[in-house]
Amino acid sequence: MNIWLDFFIDSLAFGATFIYGSTGEILTEKAGHLNLGIPGIMCMGGAGGCLMLNLIGNSSLPGFLVVILGILGSFCAAMLMGLIYAFLTVTLRANQNVTGLALTTFGAGLMKVLMKKADPVVYLVGPKQLFRFPFAGRTDSLQRLGVLFFLAVAVAVLASWVLFRTRVGLNLRAVGESPATADAVGINVTRYKYLATMCGGGIAGLGGFFYIIDYMASQEAYLSLEAFGWLSIALVIFALWRPHLTILGSTVFGLLFSCSSYIANIPGVTVTMAAKPVLKMLPYAVTILVLIITSVRNKRENQPPASLGLSYFREER
């Protein structure tokens, strides 16, 4: 019984990485920008948060303040990356794909440099318990759902509410669908694009922070982060550009990822050495399958924003 619960909780917790990444990417894509820099941004979000904890880890600040400052550090570092992306693609109208890829390489590299400067004892060993709820300490598995997990769910639900239930969301979606239309009705297209890209970047960054400090809670965690950035982008398509659906998608992905480490513990199941790599391959194979399945749907509402990837210039004819 306990194995199944552990398996599920672990998958849920792992999924939070993707919830942040995908929600951030959805916000950006809804403004018409395909940000392939998300892996790099998540890396920088992780680095930013860890460096902030490194700075305050030894101080006598109260626990909740440490948590908040850590989150802020992560968010701001990732938002800066979003700002670079926005400046290049919105103001200078650089090619979005190239900019994004460059940003990923840049972010992943810079993170490795920065993380070498940080002391794992200070940023990790001390603060990591602060991100867990003390009352959830009853069982091993439930405590894994910490502050950052619930924040991820809240952010995804809030993002959906803003996008589909408010005027700001309507305007933002209009910018991504047809910037010329949005412009003609007096929406400040540039401002919306900047805001969405920066907020999206910041949110995605939290995913990296969560992965290093909470889910993995190890000093080597940052080395495996980049791949999950790519999966977050793929998950956007799975979630049909709806942030609340990323919760579902992330859980499915989480299950597939955790599957290889839990399956051997299930009574009556034996896993040969040869089967292990196959199990580890599962999430990626499913990603490809999902991409195939989702690309054959043709309902208008489930398509990417119409002007995704296109720069907007008002006086262009």
Partner 1 sequence: MEKKLALQMRGITKRFGPVLANNHVDLDVYQGEILAVLGENGCGKTTLMNMLAGIYFPDEGRILINGEEVVISSPKDAFDHRIGMIHQHFKLVDLFTAAQNIILGMEDHGRYNLKEVNVQVSAIAEKYGFHLDPQKKVYEMSVSEKQTVEIIKVLYRGADTLILDEPTAVLTPQEIDRLFAVLRKMKEDGKSVIIITHKLNEVLEVSDRVAILRKGEHIATVQTAETSEAQLTEMMVGKKVELTIDRPEPVNSTPRLFVKHLNLYDEEHVRVLRDITFTANGGEILGIAGIAGSGQKELLEAISGLQPLESGEIVFRNPKKDRPVTFFHKSMKKVQELGREHAFHDGNGREVTFEGMSRSAVRKLVESGKVLFKEDETINLRDKTPLEIRQLGVHLSFVPEDRLGMGLVGSMDLTDNMMLRSYRKGAAGFLDRGKPRALAEQIIEELQIVTPGVSTPVRRLSGGNVQKVLVGREIAYAPKVLMAAYPVRGLDINSSYTIYHLLNQQKESGVAVIFVGEDLDVLLALCDRILVLNGGAVTGIVDARTATKEEIGLLMTKTESREGGEAREE
Considering the complex, state which of residue 176 and residue 201 has its C-beta at the smaller distance from partner 1: 176
Does 181 contact partner 1 by CB under 8 A? Answer: yes
Among 143, 171, 190, 219, binds partner 1 (CB under 8 A): 171
Residue found by looking up tokens 């010329």 in the block:
180
Considering the complex, state which of residue 103 and residue 189 has its C-beta at the smaller distance from partner 1: 189
Candidates 88-96, 105-113, 171-179, 213-221: pick the segment binding partner 1 (CB under 8 A). Answer: 171-179
**Listed residue (98, 94, 96, 107) closest to 32, CA to CA:** 96
Candidates 31-39, 47-55, 163-171, 200-208: pick the segment binding partner 1 (CB under 8 A). Answer: 163-171
Considering the complex, state which of residue 138 and residue 167 has its C-beta at the smaller distance from partner 1: 167
SS (H, E, C) 238-282: HCCCCHHHHHHHHHHHHHHHHHHHHHHHCCCCCCCCCHHHHHHHH
CB distance 41 to 24 below 8 Å: yes
Report the sign of the C-alpha dihedral through residues 159, 165, 169, 175, in that order.
positive
Residue found by looking up tokens 């070498």 in the block:
116
Candidates 89-97, 110-118, 135-143, 183-191: pick the segment binding partner 1 (CB under 8 A). Answer: 183-191
Residue 173: CB minimum distance to partner 1, A: 7
CB atoms within 10 A of CB 144: 20
Most distant pair of Cα atoms in the chain: their distance: 68
Residue 172: CB minimum distance to partner 1, A: 11
Candidates 65-73, 117-125, 126-134, 177-185: pick the segment binding partner 1 (CB under 8 A). Answer: 177-185
Considering the complex, state which of residue 65 and residue 306 has its C-beta at the smaller distance from partner 1: 306
CA 149/CA 210 separation, integer angstroms: 8
Tokens of 164: 């589909």
CA 81 → CA 39, 84, 99, 270, distances in Å? Answer: 11, 5, 11, 45
Q: Phi and psi dihedrals of 306, rounded to 5?
A: -60, -35
CB distance 23 to 163 below 8 Å: no
Does 33 contact partner 1 by CB under 8 A? Answer: no
Among 174, 203, 213, 225, binds partner 1 (CB under 8 A): 174
Considering the complex, state which of residue 132 and residue 173 has its C-beta at the smaller distance from partner 1: 173
**Listed residue (191, 230, 189) closest to 43, CA to CA:** 230
Q: Which of residues 247-306 bind partner 1 (CB under 8 A)?
A: 298, 300-301, 306
Among 68, 121, 180, 227, binds partner 1 (CB under 8 A): 180
SS3 state at 157: helix
Considering the complex, state which of residue 95 and residue 261 has its C-beta at the smaller distance from partner 1: 95
Residue 208: CB minimum distance to partner 1, A: 32
Residue 236: CB minimum distance to partner 1, A: 17
Which residues in this chain contact partner 1 in the complex, by CB under 8 A?
165-167, 170-171, 173-174, 177-178, 180-187, 298, 300-301, 306, 314-315
